A and B are shown apart, each in its own frame.
Chain A
Amino acid sequence: MSFTKLLNVCLVVGLVVGCAATKPVQAPIPGQVNAFDASMYRGLRDMQGAIDATKTDLAAGKVTFTAQETQIFDDFKSAYNVAEAAWQVYHGAANTANANTLTAAYNAANTKYGAFVTARTPPAAAAATSK
């Protein structure tokens, strides 16, 4: 149970970073097509980091998931994969249609993130601090 919440923390962290990364990038980054391209890339790399670290810990036996948790995590990974593929397409051909597809895919991945987090609402933080 504790490790489930730990994962939730990790996913929220990734989501916070991912959301922040959707804001315009301040300075051009080598290789970027435009600011949108760079911000989507950054957000997806952040998500990738959270997923990779979680997978590593799962493989190492540091975290165990229930079947439902596994499904939710898999759903998130699938949504990330769609967004990743959409970014690759946009990066190769930046146009409005591809931007719209990427935006939708990115938002869908974020939604899956959120679904995982909200599936388990933790007890009030005050209870934790009083111990």
Chain B
Amino acid sequence: MLTLLIGPLLSLLLSTLSDFGVNVPSSIGSLITQLVPVVQGLVADISAGGSPSAETITILQTLLPAIQAIKADTSLDPKYIQWATLLDDVLTKVLQNDQDAQTVIDPTKLTPEV
């Protein structure tokens, strides 16, 4: 299942960048492309019976600095910065929750969504 999802994740990431216009800075494309080997390593580790949770978190933590770098680059089109801000929000929250969930099981923190 993880293997099936990693590809779409990167594909979506790249296509999202592309959709912001024809002038996708090469530095951003390169930055994201560098994540591919990380993903391939993740898939290989999982196939070999490694720890998928740890590896998954690793890749998310790899994604985050890259996104934050884009977010901090004021020379970019505001659309890129906005995109990076949004993705940063979600990744940060997911990682925050994930880390918290590994610390203690607290039923009051798991609540319905409206």
Contacts and interface: CB of A to CB of B under 8 A. Distances in A.
Nearest to B56: A20
B2 A46 contact: no
A1 to B, nearest CB: 6
Nearest to A29: B105
A57 B55 CA distance: 27
Contact of A10 (B23, B90, B98, B112): B90
Contact of B15 (A41, A46, A87, A123): A123
Interface residues of B, number: 61
Range of interface residues on A (Cβ < 8 Å): 35 or more
Contact of B98 (A1, A5, A46, A62): A46
A14 B23 CA distance: 29
A21 B87 contact: no
B69 interface: no
Given A13-B91, A128-B14, A45 B107 contact: no
A55 B112 CA distance: 13
Given A16-B9, A20-B52, A57-B89, A41 B101 contact: yes
Interface of A: 1-3, 5-6, 8-10, 12-17, 19-21, 23, 25-26, 29-32, 37-38, 41-42, 44-46, 48-57, 62-63, 77, 80-81, 84-85, 87-88, 91, 117, 122-125, 127-129, 131
27 contacts: A2-B19, A3-B86, A9-B16, A10-B90, A14-B94, A15-B5, A17-B98, A19-B1, A19-B5, A20-B2, A26-B53, A29-B105, A38-B105, A42-B102, A44-B110, A45-B109, A49-B90, A52-B113, A53-B89, A55-B113, A57-B90, A77-B114, A85-B112, A87-B110, A88-B110, A117-B8, A128-B18
Given A42-B53, A128-B15, 17 more contacts: A6-B86, A9-B13, A16-B2, A17-B56, A30-B104, A45-B110, A46-B94, A48-B111, A50-B90, A56-B89, A62-B86, A63-B86, A84-B110, A87-B110, A124-B11, A125-B11, A127-B18
